[in-house]
Structure 1
Amino acid sequence: MNVSPTVKSLLVTAFVNAAGTGAFMSGSVLYFSLHLHIAGDTLAVTLSACALITLITTVPISAFLERFDLKSVIIFLHIFRGVTYSAYLLIDSVPAFMAVTLVATIADRLSNPASQALLASVLPSDRRVEIMAWRYSLQNAGVGLGALAVAVSISLNPTFGYPLIMALNGISFFAAAILMVPVDTTGTPAAMKRRNVFAGEWPNPRYLAFVGLSALFLLSDALLTVAVPLQVSDREDVIAGLVGVAFLANTLIKVVLQPRLSRNIATTGAAARAMVQAGFLLAAGTALIGVSCLFSSWRLGAGMIFGVCVMTLGETRFLAASWWISVELAPVDKQPRFLAVYSLSATAERTVGPLIASFIVIHFGVAGWAAAAMLFILCAAVVPTFRFVDRTLSETSA
């Protein structure tokens, strides 16, 4: 792929950042519980409270960030998060743990819409989704690398391995800040300062409806990460290591096929069609998993793995398509606030998705998987009713 130095910097930054995130995701709970001796209920309450606070604060703070150059904001947030996550190495009390976690969570949530707005501004529109697909692919590879580094270090030397989790994450943010310096934002909206931040356009009902629809599509993540393992754990006739194989297939598809599955999304119409395809793929995947639960042994394993693969194909199509539409529906000078609102779809899914997924499996089994398939079919059917208009084409005709 022939790309500019700016795009190369953004892609490498995403990989480095994701490696630190992978280290944190894979080992942070162990670090908090075994190294800092934080009780499980305290950890759960803290994470839930932080999620609620960030749900309330992300959008207004993102609107405030429109006053500043987005590149500078992102570099600052990288450095700030590097300092914050490194602070976990120094804390020795529950109040300090709660304070650091809250600040780190807010900074994480702010970084996402700011980064998305910057990417929308600096990437060429005809290659925007293709480059974002490579970014998603590199992020998944980075997460896997970070998780592997932590697993190896903890198995070799836990005393060294647990602090390494936070050190790797902190270092990755400092490195990401340095890698962002060469990014050229000259002549783009990302380089212009805003005033009268809270005036002007805010997400309209159509945009909010799209955010809600996206949250329903994103339930696929909870089904893959929560419902599938629960379904397997509830059976005594499964092949050993089935969940691990399914997750490996999920990761490989995201790393290898994300760019190919996103390549033809260059207009809003194409993105809408891709969302419809994603809905049917997700429905087919959940149906396959549900049907496989009627069998045992290798038939169960093969059906589940095949279903997970089909769901992952749908998930990758949806991510690329929804990102394009979320950007196209947002006014250029208000993208941070619009994309902050869009990010609430993922926040909502992370909040209630695991509960819904576990409820489907525990109480309804095969019927629950069938209901999930019907939900994704309905989501696909709803997409054409939005009548998306390609902003770039409408601006050209005007």
Structure 2
Amino acid sequence: MTAVAAKDWVPRGPGVVRFGLAGFVNAVGTGVFYPYALIILTALTRLPLAAVGAGLTVTALAALPLLGPVGRLVDRWGPRRVYVAAGLARTAAYAGYVLLPGLVPFLACSLVVALANRAEQISTPLLAAGLAPAGGRDRWLALSRVVFNAGVALGVLAGSLAVGAGARGAMLLAWGNALSFAAAAVLVWTLPRVAAEPRTSARPRRPWRDRPFLAVSAVVTVLWFTALAVEAALPVVLIERLALPPWLVGALFGLNTVLLAALQLPLSARVERWAPRRVLAVGALLHAALPLGLLAVSASAPGTVAAALVLAVAMTAYTLGELLGSQAGLVLLVRLAPAEAGGSYLAGHQLLIGAASALTPALVTALLAAPAALWWGLVAVTVAAAATAAPIGVAAAARRAGKVNAQ
């Protein structure tokens, strides 16, 4: 793509650099802890591994009923204030992991982290939508995905370098995490204020009665579940069941990461003129490519080179689906959420995402006894998601909310 063509997909507007940098710094902190949380927190809290794992699961579930009040707070305060509050809360929680060892402080800090993570995920799309200039909302939303993927990738690398240093490395990572979230909060605080929209009625609108929004949220949640299931099951199946070399797993995830970072903005710009619901349907359908590739490799048991080629093609198609599905889903969720109740609507969506995140590991573990059932199940749910997305009738809802026609 030429430099001139790049002008067509680079987001613009006041504060875009600070917004992107805040998202990147925030994501680095997330990536540092995400894959190594059990190891790091066991070293910091001096609790047994089983207690740490159970505590993280319990606090993640306990945070879900609190998302409704958080969403209403976003509607009342605006997304910028809630984003900053969430960042400072995570700063305090990660400092607490270091300074307050023991079970009760661990559970309290973990609950704060779980709730603040969801609050940030509710606030970020609304912040992007509120700051973007006319006609630039979709690109700002795409930028939030780019910096998240790039930041998490860097964070995972940084965590891998420090996690082997035991308690000292864990302490450094925790303090680094605390600083990253504080820095992101400061950057967001310097952005222009996104004012909360006035309510049009005394009773706030709820997402559970909005069928188009629920349909989009359900499709996006299914795609999120698919990604988590693949991430959890792929290493086990390739290494333990198919006896393929471990480097293949790293290469496939590396390919996914590179494509996500390189193609999100240009691809999002290319499909801006397409109906988002159709882009979401195509993205959902492409999610089936990797499970189908794994089924083919499992059935034919080819050599390492042939398996690598098949899975590389499947991962490329799957990643394109991830790019299209995540972008179109985010665009539709923001468009369909009423301006005065955007926080409440996205909180409802995060409730579904949080439930899927909590339940996926146990479900995947149970299905790994029969990997073919897992892969066929993922093919089925992605096809069902595509069939749900394609006929979503969102034009009337979008017009009522004063939004761009989403058809």
Q: TM-score, normalised by structure 2?
A: 0.88
- Is residue 293 from structure 1 mapped to residue 298 from structure 2 by the alignment? yes
The alignment of Structure 1 onto Structure 2 pairs a total of residues equal to 391
Structure 2 counterpart of 1:176:
184
Aligned pair partner of 1:108 in 84, 101, 117: 117
* Partner Cα distance (2:373, 2:55) in 1: 35
* Partner Cα distance (2:289, 2:187) in 1: 41
* Partner Cα distance (2:202, 2:259) in 1: 41
Aligned pair partner of 2:204 in 175, 200, 204: 200
Structure 1 counterpart of 2:31:
22
* Contact 1:286–1:373, Cα closer than 8 Å, also in 2: yes
- Is residue 214 from structure 1 mapped to residue 223 from structure 2 by the alignment? no
Structure 2 counterpart of 1:338:
345
1:236-291 Cα offsets, whole Å, 9 max, x none, are 53134221111111111111111122223446x62111111112211223212211
- Is residue 54 from structure 1 mapped to residue 58 from structure 2 by the alignment? no
* Partner Cα distance (1:72, 1:148) in 2: 31
Aligned pair partner of 1:317 in 324, 337, 350: 324
- Is residue 356 from structure 1 mapped to residue 360 from structure 2 by the alignment? no
* Partner Cα distance (2:336, 2:329) in 1: 11
Aligned pair partner of 1:234 in 211, 234, 240: 240
Aligned pair partner of 1:373 in 365, 379, 382: 379
* Partner Cα distance (1:359, 1:245) in 2: 26
- Is residue 244 from structure 1 mapped to residue 250 from structure 2 by the alignment? yes
Deviation at 1:393, TM superposition (A): 6.2
**What are the ranges of 5 or more consecutive residues in structure 2 without an aligned counterpart?**
1-9
Structure 2 counterpart of 1:163:
171
* Partner Cα distance (2:134, 2:224) in 1: 25
- Is residue 132 from structure 1 mapped to residue 141 from structure 2 by the alignment? yes
- Other structure's SS at 2:241 match: coil
* Contact 1:87–1:100, Cα closer than 8 Å, also in 2: yes
Deviation at 1:175, TM superposition (A): 0.7
* Contact 1:283–1:372, Cα closer than 8 Å, also in 2: yes
Alignment-mate amino acid for residue 185 of structure 2: A
- Other structure's SS at 2:20 match: helix
- Other structure's SS at 1:362 match: coil
Change (3 A) 1:2 1:317: closer
Deviation at 1:366, TM superposition (A): 3.0
* Partner Cα distance (1:258, 1:397) in 2: 22
* Partner Cα distance (1:390, 1:252) in 2: 38
Change (3 A) 1:209 1:151: same
* Partner Cα distance (1:72, 1:35) in 2: 30
- Other structure's SS at 1:218 match: helix
- Is residue 273 from structure 1 mapped to residue 278 from structure 2 by the alignment? yes
1:151-186 Cα offsets, whole Å, 9 max, x none, are 22344x44532111111110011111221133113x
Alignment-mate amino acid for residue 181 of structure 1: W
Change (3 A) 1:151 1:387: same
* Partner Cα distance (2:134, 2:380) in 1: 34
Change (3 A) 1:159 1:344: closer
Change (3 A) 1:259 1:38: same
Aligned pair partner of 2:289 in 278, 284, 295: 284
Change (3 A) 1:153 1:51: closer
Alignment-mate amino acid for residue 338 of structure 2: P
Alignment-mate amino acid for residue 170 of structure 1: A
Deviation at 1:86, TM superposition (A): 1.5
Deviation at 1:113, TM superposition (A): 0.9
Alignment-mate amino acid for residue 184 of structure 1: P
Deviation at 1:104, TM superposition (A): 2.0
* Identity across the alignment (%): 23
Alignment-mate amino acid for residue 283 of structure 2: A
* Contact 2:291–2:379, Cα closer than 8 Å, also in 1: yes
1:299-320 Cα offsets, whole Å, 9 max, x none, are 2333233322221211111110
* Contact 1:18–1:143, Cα closer than 8 Å, also in 2: yes
- Other structure's SS at 2:206 match: coil
* Partner Cα distance (2:182, 2:201) in 1: 29
RMSD: 2.5
Deviation at 1:356, TM superposition (A): 3.2
* Contact 1:265–1:274, Cα closer than 8 Å, also in 2: yes
1:194-245 Cα offsets, whole Å, 9 max, x none, are 5799823111241223322322222221232112112113325313422111
* Contact 1:361–1:369, Cα closer than 8 Å, also in 2: no
* Contact 1:88–1:100, Cα closer than 8 Å, also in 2: yes
Alignment-mate amino acid for residue 339 of structure 1: L
Q: TM-score, normalised by structure 1?
A: 0.90
Structure 1 counterpart of 2:6:
none
- Other structure's SS at 2:12 match: coil
* Partner Cα distance (1:349, 1:302) in 2: 31
* Partner Cα distance (2:336, 2:246) in 1: 46
Q: Which moved more, 1:339-348 or 1:123-132?
A: 123-132
Alignment-mate amino acid for residue 208 of structure 1: L
1:114-142 Cα offsets, whole Å, 9 max, x none, are 22222222223522222222321222211
* Partner Cα distance (1:375, 1:265) in 2: 24
**What are the ranges of 5 or more consecutive residues in structure 1 without an aligned counterpart?**
none
- Is residue 191 from structure 1 mapped to residue 199 from structure 2 by the alignment? no
